[in-house]
Amino acid sequence: MRHSYKKYAGLACRMLFWMLFLSFVTAGCGPFQDVAPDVHSEKKMPDEGENLIVVGFSQLGSESLWRTANSESIQEALTRENGFFLEFSNARQKQENQIKAIRGFISQRVDYIMFSPVTESGWDTVLREAKDAGIPVILVDRKASLEDDSLYTAWVGSDMISEGEKAGIWLEDYLKEEGREEEEINIVVLQGTVGSSAQLERTKGFQNIAKEHANWHILKQEPADFTTAKGKEVMEMFLRNYTGIDVVISQNDDMTFGALQAMEEKGITTGVDGEIILISFDAVREALELVSQGVINVDIECNPEQGDYILEIIRKLENGEPVDKENIVEEKVFTQKNVDEYLDTRTY
């Protein structure tokens, strides 16, 4: 009797262990969190007779505060009340997961496919399959470089070349104001995901301005994947390998938070009264607070609130109206001079 109690207790313990382990892993906390796309629909499937527009959305991941705000904006716009059934899939920063999700949407014969391409290249085949199935594709946030532009119907996102140029123009003006325009200026850049339009275009935009200044020296540009952890790691590497850094450019706020940790640990100050000029991108609330405190000099906005633009595009398509192929969202530049008037209303 005692023996079989022990046996069942052991079995129960093992079962409990595996249940906890599996719930930990499926909650996205475990070692496999980057492996499979996380497809979920928060709402129940449309009932028969319910005339909902079914949209499959492959979001590239959840690497940044910006990305979370972008997902929320889309989920808040494409609601059941607005006539939509949204199937949301998180690709966990892997192109293969996005391709798998898009193929899944095609086989479900959704009404629209939306996706935010993790990198620019490699989409022709799967988008041809969507086109052959007669499903319109809307690109969100980032761009895809395609042989045939008819493979997508519309794109909603930011002009990221212009974002990079804004960073360069701000630096130009700031150095002039500070009387430093003739000084030799050493710059390091934390870049986003390699091959993403955010990384390629912000880099290109900044270089368009930097090439006009022979005294600006880009010491190193290094990818840090748009994450805080990588941002810290890459900034530590910059500090180990380079002296005399005047400017840190970080292609998103999450990497900026990591870079700041690395600099603080070395006692290095940044911002309006600091040793290093700090330029960031995105302008999420936490970063704008640091702009207000003078820790970040300037934050170039990348606007994640794209849901309403998408809603309008789909409504037009449903009514058989023409839509613009390129839909650029509005964006600002924040410094200590103007940030406080926007902080109160910043929701992300």
Q: Which residues form the interface with ligand AHR (CB under 6 A)?
A: 63-64, 66-67, 141-142, 198, 226, 252, 281-282, 302
Closer residue to ligand AHR, CB minimum distance, 64 or 153: 64
Closer residue to ligand AHR, CB minimum distance, 56 or 157: 157
DSSP string, 230-298: HHHHHHHHHHHH-S---EEEESSHHHHHHHHHHHHHTT--BSTTSSBEEEEEE--HHHHHHHHTTSSSE
Closer residue to ligand AHR, CB minimum distance, 87 or 201: 201
Closer residue to ligand AHR, CB minimum distance, 53 or 189: 189
Least distance between ligand AHR and beta carbon 16 (Å): 37
Closer residue to ligand AHR, CB minimum distance, 79 or 261: 261
Least distance between ligand AHR and beta carbon 11 (Å): 45
Q: Which string of b and e fits 34-58 if b means at least 16 CB within 10 Å?
A: eeebbbeeeeeeeeeeeebbbbbbb
CA–CA distance, 328 with 155 (Å, rounded to integer):
8
Sheet of strand 298-301: strand arrangement: 216-223, 185-191, 247-250, 277-282, 298-301, 333-335
Least distance between ligand AHR and beta carbon 23 (Å): 27
CA–CA distance, 114 with 306 (Å, rounded to integer):
12
**What separation in angstroms does the CA of 264 have from each of 114, 239, 242?**
40, 11, 16
Least distance between ligand AHR and beta carbon 7 (Å): 51
Closer residue to ligand AHR, CB minimum distance, 120 or 282: 282
Least distance between ligand AHR and beta carbon 57 (Å): 15
Least distance between ligand AHR and beta carbon 244 (Å): 28
| 10-17: long-range contacts, CB 8 A cutoff, minimum separation 24 | none
Closer residue to ligand AHR, CB minimum distance, 85 or 143: 143
Least distance between ligand AHR and beta carbon 91 (Å): 12
For the purposes of burial, counting CB atoms within 10 Å of the CB of 129, is it exposed (0-12), middle (13-18) or buried (19 or more)? middle
Residue 270's contacts (CB-CB under 8 Å, 6 or more residues apart) are 248, 260, 263, 276, 277, 278, 295, 296, 297
Tokens encoding 156? 């909603």
Least distance between ligand AHR and beta carbon 198 (Å): 4
3-state secondary structure (DSSP) of residue 173: helix
Closer residue to ligand AHR, CB minimum distance, 110 or 200: 200
